[in-house]
Amino acid sequence: MKIAKKGFLSLTMTAVLLVLSACGSNAANPSNQASPGAAAGTKASDKVLRIGATGQSYPFAYKEADKLQGFDVEVVETIASKLGYKVEWQLSEFSGLMAQLETGKLDTVSNQVAVTDERKQKFDFTTTYAYAGSQIVVKNDNNDIKSVKDLKGKTVAGVLGSNHVKNLEKQDPNKEIKIKTYETQEGTLNDVALGRIDAYVNSRNVLLAQIKRNGLPLKLAGEPFVYEEVGFPFQKDEKHQKIKEEFNKTLEQLRQDGTLKKLSEKYFSDDITVKLQAK
C-alpha cells in the first residue's frame, strides 16, 4: 500500500508540473501578443477603435439594408484598415455621440464633425478631410427666403447638437428666428416639403445629396452662410494623441494617392475634400 501511495503521489506531482509548464508557455504564444503592425507596447485587444456615427446621416454615415455605409464611414474604415485597427461602430443621435466622446466611451466620431473653437477646447482634431457649408433649404415655391436675413420670424429646423444650428444662432443675435431642433434628420426635409416649417439648415453637400435621392420639391436658398473644416475629434490624452498622429499620416497618404477624392466623388459627384471659398 505504501508503494502504491508513493507511485500515486509521483504521478500527481508530474501532472501538476506539466500544467504549470503549459501555463508558462502561453507567455510566449504569438496569439497573445500585438498584431503585426501594432505600435510598441500595444496589445492585440487595444487595436480596436470605438467609433460613433448616427447611422442616419446620408450620405456620410447611414444604414441601408442593415449595412452602415457612407463617405465618412469609408474614409475612417480605410484609415483603420491601413493602421491595423478593427472598428466597432456605435450608433446614436449626434448630441449623444459627442457626449460619449467626451466621457471616453468613444475613441472618435465619424459623422462630419466640424472643427470649431468651442470643440477644440475639449478635443484634438486631425487634419481636415472634408469641407462643409451651412446651407438653408426651402420648398420649391418659396421665393421669400433667399438668405439668413430672410429667416426673421420664420421657423427653421436643424439637428440637435449640429454645428449648423449653432452657426445659424450666431447669425441671429436678437433671436428673431424660431429654431426647431430634431433628434435626427428623418422627417425634417419632409416637414419643409409639406410646409410645416419654413426652412431647414444643414450641410450643403448633405442637402444636395438628399434632395436628389428622395426627389423632394426643395431647393437651396442662396449660398452657404458659413464654410467649415471637418475632422476626426479625439480626447486630449497620450493614447489618443498617438492615434491622431497615425490618422494624420494616413489621411495625407489618402489625399496624395487620390483615395479621398475618389470616395468623395463616389457619394457626391464632387470633391468636398478641397477647400471651398465662401461667396
| Model-wide pTM > 0.95 | no
As given in the structure block, the three cell numbers for residue 266 are 463616389
As given in the structure block, the three cell numbers for residue 145 are 427666403
As given in the structure block, the three cell numbers for residue 186 are 428623418
Answer for the pair 143, 221: CB distance below 8 angstroms, yes or no: no
Answer for the pair 57, 89: CB distance below 8 angstroms, yes or no: no
- Paired with 177 in beta bridges are none
pLDDT in tens, 190-234: 899 999 999 999 988 888 888 888 888 999 999 999 988 999 999
Return the residue matching grid coordinates 426643395.
218
pLDDT in tens, 149-172: 999 999 999 988 888 999 999 999
Range in 4-18, 54-68, 74-88 the model is least confident about: 4-18
Domains of the chain: 46-129+231-268 (3.40.190.10), 132-228 (3.40.190.10)
pLDDT of 68 reads 97
Strand 67-69: give its sheet, edge to edge.
Answer: 56-57, 61-64, 67-69
